[in-house]
Structure 1
Amino acid sequence: MTSAAPPQLTGHARGLDQLIALAAAQPLSPATDHFYFLRHGQTPRNALRIYQSYDEPLSPLGLEQAALAAGVLAREPIRTIVCSDARRAFDTAHTVAAPHRLTPVAREVLRERHFGCLVGTSSIDIDWACAPEGGETLPQFVDRKRAALDAALREPAPVLVVAHGGTLYVLAALLGVPVDAAVLGNAQPLRFERQDGGRWTVRALRAADGSVAALA
């Protein structure tokens, strides 16, 4: 599926236009008509805005966010959960999987971008177009995510993908979907759905009281 115009990704991070262009050059066209996505809960280094390693745990708030997301997603007819094997996504996925009595399928290819020598430094001025020493370039990252998401969405549907913010940026661009602050939060459950004509949309799922699921 292609869109008439590239999606807009809000925020001030540099390099997002390059990410959009790379992903949109080879868009995804999943066979399913809907699926779910969940970014992991908050981590200590999320809060400090520091590039993190794959073993970074959830913070106490992140654990609470994951539990809240589990309550929201328990109402959805999820059949398969595929997750990044990075600790923060793996633990979030297992929390969400419990009400469904499912075992998440963990895949290394769904990990966040490897930022190499930048890990442990400030990510406040993140530039997605950078090529960090010892890490992935943006084209390598987008290609990896395209293949990983394509494989995940071939699993028995409906599928829930539990991964990272970078994954969400690529996924949105692959489907031609604009994203904003309402869908980018930690542990905010999302439903992607294909509309008539093939256009994809995304919406944040809400708790039973009508509130957005993710905690501030």
Structure 2
Amino acid sequence: MNTAASPLPSPLHPASRGLARLAELAAASPLQPVCEGFYFLRHGQTPRNALRIFQSYDEPLSELGERQAAAAAVVLAREPIRRIVCSDARRALHTAQTVAAPLSLQPLAQALLRERHFGALVGTSSADIDWDCAPEGGETLAEFVQRKRQALEDALATEEGPVLIVAHGGSLYVLAALLGVPLNPGLLANAHPLHFTRGPDGRWQARALSAADPALAAGGALA
């Protein structure tokens, strides 16, 4: 079984400083899910994603984000998902509710799955985001990784699966590092459904469930 997280490729996109430190922190205590597979979905785009601005937890989806969530719902409706756990941040909860409707499921919202709290940086530019910063009034990277590890462990500590986790870009970075899964920019898009599976050798891998629709693709900050 894979017991050590591999460093994340760096940079994953032009604004990904500090990921080596994130991978180092995650590798100190890798995640060991009891399940053999699960799903992950980053929330749809928000107005501040598009503007590359650190956002608060009440930031809504943009019109594009709503369309992205609806498209993800069509893809995920074909999957054998039995449970949905999501961040209680507005953008993630809205995305989870959109995806849950065709599956006749009710998302379980968890505060621990929220994106990192960037404190005094909220409302400022995230174009040159440094994950290893220590923002005034916010979480340090070590605190964030520890919180995310607990949240992801709780979400995956069930046999009532497969589970879908709906959360944030930061969640995906930590999740990948905890499982030793290399990421590429194509896996980081808003509302792009991912399927994580454990192979016969115990190593985890992630694949996109469908090709990204150019009409719905969007860049922007991960936070």
TM range (shorter): over 0.9
Query: 8 Å contact 2:89–2:114 — kept in the other structure?
Result: yes
Q: Which residue pairs with 1:104 in the alignment?
A: 107
Question: How far apart are 1:91 and its partner, in Å?
Answer: 0.2
Q: Which residue pairs with 1:11 in the alignment?
A: 13
TM-score for both structures, normalised by structure 1: 0.95
Rounded to whole Å, the distance in 2 between the matches of 1:139 and 1:4 is 16
Query: 8 Å contact 1:205–1:212 — kept in the other structure?
Result: no
Residue in structure 2 matching 1:27, options 30, 44, 49? 30
Question: How far apart are 1:212 and its partner, in Å?
Answer: 2.8
Q: Runs of at least 4 residues of structure 1 off by over 3 A?
A: none
Question: How far apart are 1:6 and its partner, in Å?
Answer: 2.7
Give unpaired runs (5+ residues) of structure 2: 218-223
Query: 8 Å contact 1:205–1:213 — kept in the other structure?
Result: no
Rounded to whole Å, the distance in 2 between the matches of 1:24 and 1:108 is 24
CA RMSD of aligned residues (A): 1.2
Percent identity of paired positions between Structure 1 and Structure 2: 67
Query: 8 Å contact 1:39–1:89 — kept in the other structure?
Result: yes
For residues 171-182 of structure 1, the aligned pairs below 5 Å read 171-182=175-186
Local SS of the residue matching 2:85: strand
Rounded to whole Å, the distance in 1 between the matches of 2:131 and 2:153 is 22
Question: How far apart are 1:41 and its partner, in Å?
Answer: 0.1
Query: 8 Å contact 1:149–1:171 — kept in the other structure?
Result: yes
Question: How far apart are 1:107 and its partner, in Å?
Answer: 0.3
Question: How far apart are 1:7 and its partner, in Å?
Answer: 3.6
CA shift in 2, pair 1:31/1:45, >3 Å: same
Say yes or no: does 1:67 pair with 2:108: no
Residue in structure 1 matching 2:40, options 33, 37, 41? 37
Say yes or no: does 1:205 pair with 2:206: no
Local SS of the residue matching 2:72: helix
Question: How far apart are 1:182 and its partner, in Å?
Answer: 1.1
Q: Which residue pairs with 2:221 in the alignment?
A: none
Q: How many residues align?
A: 212
Residue in structure 1 matching 2:191, options 187, 198, 205? 187
Question: How far apart are 1:145 and its partner, in Å?
Answer: 0.1
Q: Deviation per CA, 1:27-65: give whole Å up to 9, x if none.
A: 001010000000000000000000000000000000000
Q: Which residue pairs with 1:159 in the alignment?
A: 163
TM-score for both structures, normalised by structure 2: 0.92
Rounded to whole Å, the distance in 2 between the matches of 1:58 and 1:108 is 18
